[in-house]
């Protein structure tokens, strides 16, 4: 078994930026991992707070990499995990924080974060950052309450149609827009392609996932999930699998290299 894993990096100060397949030694201590991440992001190790999660199982895998003497293996960080880098910079203004809590789409991207720190460490954080966490949690509660009401209404509306049979409440989305064959883009990284799959990946789950056949090999899949083929794509890394909220459907044409400013 290899000592190395490949992870993706996200950063709170780089909008729509994602570092793909960064190779890390899972037995290196977090201090060394921070030094490696520094070479990619430019954030000094002493200014980093790191969190890790599997985007396909966020609730059960989210973890704060808070102990610099421990290694990724201790935290059970595996291949294809995402490491979120939060740069602690008290000189930033509110407008400098990319993932603003007033933006529901960006809030959705950040809902996986789990802040597991001691009270002493927490009190050291800036007032602005504590306010950020408080408002984020309040917004999440509001969203969950709204979704709960929508689900109850959907169940009532579908009872007669299903003749009393069990009803599985799905995430609500615009089915006229999210159709297989439509062009779309992954919001992070502006990776473009064709929508190929819409549905659930787990039993008894309300979360809707999408599969995209990307124009370029910048994805996280070859069209399979847990050895099951979900959709056809051009090959390894040409497939993207993620939450339905991670993409935008529209007339996103493939990039033309001749359109770039350098040319």
pLDDT average, residue stretch 6-31: 88
> What pLDDT is recorded for position 13?
83
Structural domains of the chain ordered from first start:
4-137 (3.10.20.90), 183-259 (2.30.30.190)
Q: Which of 33-37, 51-55, 255-259 has the lowest mean pLDDT?
A: 255-259
**pLDDT average, residue stretch 187-201:** 90
Closest alpha carbon to 76 in 95, 92, 49, 52:
52
In this prediction, residue 218 has a pLDDT band, given cuts at 50, 70 and 90, of confident
Q: Give residues with Cβ within 8 angstroms of 222, minimum separation 6.
A: 233, 235, 236, 237, 238, 239
pLDDT confidence band for 116 (50 / 70 / 90): very low
pLDDT recorded at residue 11? 87
Q: Parallel, antiparallel, or unpaired: how do β-strands 183-186 and 191-199 relate?
A: antiparallel
Q: Three-state DSSP class for 7?
A: strand
Asked if pLDDT for residue 204 goes beyond 80, the answer is no
Give the residue from 82, 79, 46 showing the smallest Cα distance to 62: 82
pTM of the model: 0.40
């Amino acid at each position: 078994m290899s000592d190395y894993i490949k992870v993706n990096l996200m950063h709170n100060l780089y909008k729509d930026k994602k570092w793909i397949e960064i190779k890390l030694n899972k037995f290196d201590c977090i201090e060394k991992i921070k030094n490696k991440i520094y070479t990619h992001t430019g954030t000094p190790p002493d200014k980093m707070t790191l969190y890790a999660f599997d985007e396909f199982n966020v609730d059960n895998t989210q973890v704060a990499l808070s102990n610099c003497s421990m290694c990724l293996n201790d935290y059970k960080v595996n291949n294809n995990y995402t490491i979120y880098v939060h740069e602690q910079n008290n000189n930033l203004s509110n407008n400098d924080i990319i993932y603003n809590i007033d933006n529901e789409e960006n809030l959705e991207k950040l809902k996986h974060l789990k802040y597991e720190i001691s009270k002493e460490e927490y009190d050291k954080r800036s007032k602005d950052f504590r306010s950020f966490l408080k408002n984020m949690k309040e917004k999440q509660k509001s969203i969950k309450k709204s979704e709960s009401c929508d689900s109850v209404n959907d169940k009532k509306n579908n009872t007669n149609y299903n003749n009393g049979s069990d009803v599985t409440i799905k995430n609500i989305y615009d089915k006229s827009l999210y159709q297989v064959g439509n062009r779309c883009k992954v919001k992070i990284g502006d990776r473009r392609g064709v929508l190929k799959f819409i549905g659930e990946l787990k039993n008894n789950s309300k979360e809707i996932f999408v599969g995209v056949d990307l124009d370029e090999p910048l994805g996280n899949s070859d069209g399979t999930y847990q050895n099951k083929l979900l959709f056809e794509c051009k090959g390894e890394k040409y497939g993207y699998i993620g939450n339905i909220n991670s993409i935008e459907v529209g007339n996103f044409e493939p990039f033309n290299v001749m359109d770039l400013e350098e040319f």
